[in-house]
Amino acid sequence: FYCQLSTELEKLKELGAQLKQHCEADETAFVPKVGEPCCAQTSGEGAWYRTMVKSIHKDSVAVSLVD
């Protein structure tokens, strides 16, 4: 459960735009490690989010949203 102040909405939108730009431009290989922060893209809407690696499986990585 996360809350975000409506007064900070523009800053949040700008952060999202910067995150998207960075993640789509960076082609550096990433090897996830449990406990590390990373960016993850949703499969439905394609948005990028700041996340934390929770567990690593053979064909997937479980993450939790930071915000």
CATH of the domain at 56: 2.30.30.140
- Domain-embedded: residue 13: yes
Q: Please, which pLDDT band fits residue 30 given cuts at 50, 70 and 90?
A: confident
The chain-wide mean pLDDT, for the chain, equals 87
Q: Which domain holds residue 60?
A: 6-65
Which positions ≥6 away from 50 have C-beta within 8 Å? Answer: 19, 37, 39, 65, 66, 67
How many structural domains compose the chain? 1
pTM: 0.71
- Domain-embedded: residue 1: no
pLDDT in tens, 38-57: 988 887 888 888 899 999 99
33 has pLDDT over 90: yes
